[in-house]
Chain A
Amino acid sequence: MAQYDLIIIGAGPAGMTAAIYGARADMNVLMLDKLAPGGQIINTNEIQNYTGVGTVNGAELAYQMFEHTQQFDTITFDYATVKEVVDKGGEKLVRCEEDDKEFTASSVILATGTRPRCLHVTGEDKFRGNGISWCAICDGAQYRDKDVVVIGGGNSAVEESIFLAGIVKSLTIVTMFDLTADPIACDKLRAMDKVSIYPYQDILEFVGDTRLEGVRFRSTKTGEEKTVSCDGVFEYIGLTPTTECFKELGVLNQMGYVEVNDRMATKVPGIFGAGDCVTKNLRQVITACADGAIAAQEASHYVKNL
């Protein structure tokens, strides 16, 4: 079984930055991801707030980060879906789903990020992937000159709405509160033609027989119900941590986020957290990278003192 100083689970910005800092601290690093490097940023068309790079496509930035990790001979990348991490004191065992693959390391960084949250209302399962999508960049093109609804009012919802508004015939934004994204982006969206915004609404149902035909929602202020006809829906209602496989470690809070201190350490010695899956207020590429740097540095100190 391969033995490493540090195993990083998740190859998003936090994981890749941790790998670079780990390698620079003379550690032998294994970075695992079930898909490909990048994490959530690969679904982002434009990142505009990563210092020094201006505007950059999310996937391009992911590629650049991964190429940076490959400058180090001591960083290994492998495709694996982790099913369990077992703490054995100075040694941590990482079990994967694929062919019962196992790895051991002196330290582990949990950087598995988040995934989009679902509404769990009537019709969502029926039209999932066939009318309802979570990626405007992937599926937006099929709604050219059609009627589309975006659900949500945060940064992702507003940024992807701006992208969709350039393609579709009409765009209706339905959100539980008001728009909560960056004011500049909100103003840009509000000023766009063919955009209608319905704040303070509860989504009740996705309507349609064999194909999606509309969204029914109710005002939380007046109780008035409305159904908007549409050909497609994009949901951006927040994220949920991808941390189920760490449950047995006892490092998760009630919401499933990894609890860490200001040194990114969990309560289990040698296990650290970084990026969107940890407890914090601001989940951005730049904060994920900062978490990764701190976690790797602390992991290095931990390993050297074993």
Chain B
Amino acid sequence: MLKEVNSTEFKELVDKGLVLADFFSTTCGPCKMLSFVLKDVEKEFGDDLTILKVDFDQNKELTAEYNVAGYPTLILLKDGAEVKRLQGLQQKPVIVKLVKENI
């Protein structure tokens, strides 16, 4: 599942299984292209992975809570606990490998 969420929805979903949080900005080019990559990542994992997209500018408290300074920032969480954090546009094979290692 790939879904853009607000803070409330994020907190409802983040504790459930494997979650890849994508903190993005609508003005950021690498963020746009990471969205492109994440759509392909979603196709590989289906329901085994929840991809939550969080608008950096619209959810300031949440970004502060997760200590997100720049964008795009990807955080992989397992049952709510942070497993790994990646900053900047990432290669699809790198994301896929990371998810597979934690599934």
Interface residues, chain A, with chain B CB atoms under 8 Å away: 34-38, 41-45, 57-60, 62-63, 66, 79-81, 98, 129, 133, 135, 137-139, 141-142
Shortest Cβ gap from B6 to chain A (Å):
19
- Please classify how large the interface on chain B is, using the bins under 10, 10 to 19, 20 to 34, 35 or more: 20 to 34
Shortest Cβ gap from A143 to chain B (Å):
10
Asked whether B93 lies within 8 Å of A59 as measured between CB atoms, the reply is no
Picked from A41, A58, A138, the residue with its CB within 8 Å of the CB of B70 is: A138
- Residues of chain B with a CB closer than 8 A to A36's CB: 33-34, 36-37, 89, 92
What are 9 inter-chain pairs, A to B, with CB distance below 8 A? A41-B29, A42-B89, A59-B28, A59-B31, A59-B33, A62-B29, A62-B32, A79-B91, A129-B87
Asked whether A135 lies within 8 Å of B30 as measured between CB atoms, the reply is yes
B:29-82 near A, CB below 8 Å: 29-34, 36-37, 40, 56-57, 69-72
Interface residues, chain B, with chain A CB atoms under 8 Å away: 25, 27-34, 36-37, 40, 56-57, 69-72, 87-93
Asked whether A37 lies within 8 Å of B91 as measured between CB atoms, the reply is no
Asked whether A60 lies within 8 Å of B32 as measured between CB atoms, the reply is yes
Whole-angstrom CA separation of A63 from B93 in the bound complex: 20
Picked from A35, A57, A133, the residue with its CB within 8 Å of the CB of B89 is: A35
Shortest Cβ gap from A12 to chain B (Å):
11
Whole-angstrom CA separation of A98 from B88 in the bound complex: 20
- Residues of chain A with a CB closer than 8 A to B71's CB: 138-139, 141
